Amino acid sequence: MRVTAGPARAGVPLLALALAACAGGVVPRTPASEPVDRTPAVRPIHGSTIPPEPAIRPLGGRIVGATPLAAAPVAAITGAATAAGAGVKPGPDIALLPITDAEARAALTAFARSCPSLGRRTDRSGLTRGPDWQPACDAARAGGGGGAGDARAFFARWFEAAQVGDGRAFATGYYEPEIAGSLTPTAGAAPVYARPRDLVDVDLGTFSPDLAGKSIRGKVQGTKLVPFDDRTQIEQGSLATRASVLGYAADPVELFFLQIQGSGRLRLPDGSVLRIGYDTQNGRGYTGIGKLMRDRGLLGPGQTSMQGIVDWLHAHPDEGRAIMRENKSFVFFRVLDTAPLGALGYPVAGQTSAAADPAFVPLGAPVFLSMDRADVNGLWVAQDTGGAIKGANRFDTFWGAGSGARLTAGGMAARGNAWLLLPRGTVARLQGARAFGAVQTGPEARAPLAQP
C-alpha cells in the first residue's frame, strides 16, 4: 500500500484534541489488569475460524486524557524530504519508557515478522541500512527471551530511542470494518470490484532516474495512456465488462469507508464472512470528504467523527453521494485468506501495527507514542503506509476488527510526541554524518545514508 497505491489511511476524525502540556520526566507505567476483547470470532467462507485479537489496549471505552512526555527542543528544519534531512536527536532511555508487557510482546512478534523486509529494503528515510537491523532481528528470531518482562528487555537491549525533527506527532486510527453484503446483487447494493483488467501501472523511474520512486496508473486509449475511470464513472457502471465483482455491499456508504480503511469483511446472509483486502487503486488523487463537509458547515457539534459523518451521509443520500464522488479515488480488492496485509506484505496486527510515511520512518521499525489520550500511548510497529499519511511523526494506528475497534479508530485524533526505536549506534552515526555535511536538508534530499 504505497503512497500512490494504498488506501487513503486518512484518519477519520476532523478536530483533534488540544495537546496537553508536557511536563516532568519519564515515569514507568505499572501494568494494570487488561480489558478482555469480547468481539466474537467469525466464520469465513474458507472454513477456518478467525479468532478475536487479544486485548492489548482498551477498545471502544471512555477517552482518558494523558500528558505527553516532553520532546527535546530543536530548531525546525523546513522542507526536509526525509527523516535524515529533518535531523535526529537521542530520545529517552527505552528502559524507562512506560511500555507494558503485553505491548512489548505484541511488538516483538510484529517486529520479528518484519525483519526479512528490514534487511533487504532500501530505507527511504535515510536513517538505517540493512545490516544495522541484523543483531536485533537475530535476537528476535531466537525469541527475545521467554519470561515476563523479557520482551521489554529485548527492546531496551537492542534499540535506542530517536527523535525525528521536533518530535511532534499526530495519530489517527483505522480498523478492519465488517459490513453487510452478499455474493449476488440486491436492490441498492454496490459492487465490490476486483482489479480491472485494463488498469495499467507505470513505474516512471524506468523512464528517468529523476522520477525514481514515482508511479502513475491509467488505461490505454488508442496510442495514449489516459487517466483511469474516476469514482463517478465507476459507480455509474463503466467497469461492467472490465472488472470482476467479488461481492456486493448492502450499503454504499459503508463500502466507501471500507475503501478508506483498505480491507474489511463482508458479512453474508448465511452468517459466513468474505474477507477482502486492498489490491490496487485507480490512480486518482484522494480527497478527504470530512474536511469538505466541515468547510461547508455541514457537520454540527458531535458530528466530526467517522460515525457522525456516516450518519449525515445516510440522512442526506443525494447530497451525500455527490460529496463522496468528489473523492475521485477508488479502491479495488482481492479475497484474503489471512489478516489484512500491510505495505510490507505481512499481516498487520490490531492494537500493534501502524501506518507511517516511509520517507520518515523505516518500515518495520518500532515506534513509541506519547500522546494526549491514554489508549494510543505505548509501543507500535510501522508496518503499513497510506496516501494521506505524510511527513515526520504522522501515524495511523490499526485497531483490528469489531465494534470496539470501529469506535476507537473512528474517534482517534491524538497529538503528542513520538520516538522511533532504531538499532543502537544509529543516532551517533547520523549526527556524525550531518557534522561532516553528508546529509541534505532541503526538498532535494535523496536520503544519502539509505544504501547498505
Per-residue pLDDT of the chain (452 residues; tens, 9 = 90+): 333 335 655 444 433 322 232 333 333 333 333 333 333 344 444 444 455 567 799 888 788 999 999 999 988 678 899 999 999 999 999 999 999 999 999 999 999 999 999 988 899 999 999 999 999 999 999 876 444 459 999 999 999 999 999 999 999 999 888 999 999 999 999 999 999 999 999 999 999 999 988 899 999 999 999 999 999 999 999 999 999 999 999 999 999 999 988 889 999 999 999 999 899 999 999 999 998 999 999 988 878 777 889 999 999 999 999 999 999 999 999 998 877 889 998 999 999 999 999 999 999 999 999 999 999 999 999 999 987 899 999 999 999 988 888 889 988 999 999 999 999 999 999 988 765 555 443 333 333 322 22
CATH of the domain at 298: 2.40.240.50
Q: Is there a single domain that holds both residue 225 and residue 329?
A: yes
The answer to whether 189 and 270 are in contact (CB under 8 A) is: no
Residue 118 structural domain? 83-174+344-435
Residue 52 lies in a domain: no
Q: Name residue, grid cell 536520503.
A: 447
Q: Is there a single domain that holds both residue 307 and residue 351?
A: no
The answer to whether 358 and 114 are in contact (CB under 8 A) is: no
Tally of domains within the chain: 2
The answer to whether 324 and 26 are in contact (CB under 8 A) is: no
Residue 243 lies in a domain: yes
Residue 21 lies in a domain: no
Closest CA to 56 of 119, 17, 6, 110: 110
Closest CA to 275 of 285, 283, 267: 267
Residue 270 lies in a domain: yes
Buried b (16+ CB within 10 A) or exposed e, 165-203: bbbbbbbbbbbbbbbebbeeeeeebbbbbbebeebeeee
Q: What is the pTM of this model?
A: 0.71
Q: Is there a single domain that holds both residue 274 and residue 354?
A: no
Q: Is there a single domain that holds both residue 330 and residue 358?
A: no
Domain boundary among 335, 362, 380: 335
Strand extents, DSSP E, 287-413: 331-335, 353-356, 366-371, 378-384, 394-401
